[in-house]
A and B are shown apart, each in its own frame.
Chain A
Amino acid sequence: SQQGEEDPQALSIQEGENATMNCSYKTSINNLQWYRQNSGRGLVHLILIRSNEREKHSGRLRVTLDTSKKSSSLLITASRAADTASYFCATKPSGGYQKVTFGTGTKLQVIP
């Protein structure tokens, strides 16, 4: 079963524009991660934000986390054609469990 729901399911933007995708989840978490998947490189980890953090940056990526609303957003600034991929949020629950639950994904297309 998928815990996270990404929104929108699909997004098409022009190169240079910003892309924002959102993730909602259901249970208490230890951390939330974002992964990218494309046909060329498979699933790749992008960034992790812990439950006690509210915002994190990595290069052109900015992630926010609102644990009261059980939601997160991923912002990609100055998008490039190479950013075309599916993006998934993945949550690790509180406690000692290592199971990570992925969302349904946002399919991003960046048009050159």
Chain B
Amino acid sequence: DTGVSQDPRHKITKRGQNVTFRCDPISEHNRLYWYRQTLGQGPEFLTYFQNEAQLEKSRLLSDRFSAERPKGSFSTLEIQRTEQGDSAMYLCASSLSAAGSYEQYFGPGTRLTVT
């Protein structure tokens, strides 16, 4: 399967713990996005990378959240000192920055539950 993969698929953690999620985009895609989705809502943009550069970041993203994309390949999203309000599905997507190409390919998501 050459689609976007995310690991882990499910994570249960206690409040106050740190968690890290990984996303492997489609290999030739240079753009990578992170979203958060809660029940009954659409995905909410968190951050965007072009290659290894983090070019956009939501103002909603608190300083407890950090994302990296070393070498422009896989990406990690870390949440420090988790809170119950962080419980959500975290989605990763990738796309190719060819002219006129905006279609994003989504991974299956990581479901985070903070107890």
Residues of A within 8 A of B (CB): 1-2, 4, 31, 33, 42-45, 48, 88, 90, 92, 97-105
B58 partner residues in chain A, CB cutoff 8 A: 99
Interface residues of B in 80-115 (CB under 8 A from A): 91, 93, 102-109
Question: Which residue from A33, A43, A97, A101 sits with its C-beta under 8 Å from B106?
Answer: A43
Question: Which residue from A1, A43, A44, A45 sits with its C-beta under 8 Å from B60?
Answer: A1
Pairs A-B, 10 closest by C-beta atoms: A102-B42, A43-B106, A45-B103, A88-B42, A102-B43, A99-B45, A98-B48, A105-B42, A42-B108, A99-B56
Residues of B within 8 A of A (CB): 31, 33, 35, 40-45, 48, 50, 55-56, 58, 60, 91, 93, 102-109
Q: How far is the CA of A92 from the CA of B102 in the complex (A)?
A: 9
Nearest CB in chain A to that of B56: its residue: A99
